[in-house]
Amino acid sequence: MESAFRRAQGSGAALDDGISGLAQVLYLMYLARARKASSIAEIGFNIGYSSIGFLESSPQVKVTSFEINTEASVESAKEFIDSRYPDRHHLIYGDSTHTVPAFQVPPSSDGFDLVFIDGGHDYPCVKADIANARRLAKPGATIVVDDLTPWFKWGIGPTTAWDEAVRDGIVTPLEYMSDAVAVSRVQGPAERAWAVGQYR
């Protein structure tokens, strides 16, 4: 991760705080391993920290990332991942509300084992990402939605979309994490919080 961060910094692009912290990356790595996930989709790539966590979980893992940002830091992170994990990462550029529904799961696959949603944070986008990714996922696939932090402006959309998905029977909640500690329900204050569930 440190190498990836240095490489992204060297691209000359400004790095925002939409980057997975080490604790979250380690959590994602162990979650993928525990779920025996070999095919993973993530909405939101940024500089690739979560992708690295997933790819480190097992040599068999392949990751497909959807990313709207085309800045140099993203391209640099992609180059780093391809050099370290050749032929195991696929990056699709564009607005996820268009690229995810347009994506076709290969005939040799029955869908993704795990989906990580950390792209656009406005409510309509997160709601669409949860619904659209469900079509690409295997029955009972694991779903992780980041930034359930409604005490921050950017956390209102993900929290509302997640709560509705649970209420509407789209996902079954399995675990909530607040600053990398398991909790019964996410409540502030916390810097980072996310939810893990299972598609129904």
pLDDT higher at 10 or 99: 99
**What's the rounded mean pLDDT across residues 168-174?**
98
Count of domains for the chain = 1
| CATH code at position 57 | 3.40.50.150
* 3-class SS string, 86-137: CCCEEEEECCHHHHHHHCCCCCCCCCEEEEEECCCCCHHHHHHHHHHHHHHE
Note the pTM of the prediction, 2 decimals: 0.91
Q: Domain range spanning residue 103?
A: 2-199
Q: Place 29 in a pLDDT band, splitting at 50, 70 and 90.
A: very high
CB 197 within 8 A of CB 130: no
Predicted confidence at residue 63, as pLDDT, reads 98
Q: Does the pLDDT at position 9 exceed 80? A: no
Token pair 């692009």: residue: 13
Q: Place 66 in a pLDDT band, splitting at 50, 70 and 90.
A: very high
pLDDT higher at 188 or 83: 83
Q: Place 163 in a pLDDT band, splitting at 50, 70 and 90.
A: very high
Q: Place 126 in a pLDDT band, splitting at 50, 70 and 90.
A: very high
Token digits for 54?
């997933």
Distances (CA, A) of 195 to 31, 120, 135, 167, 176: 12, 16, 19, 14, 5
CB 105 within 8 A of CB 69: no
In eight-state DSSP terms, residue 9 is: H
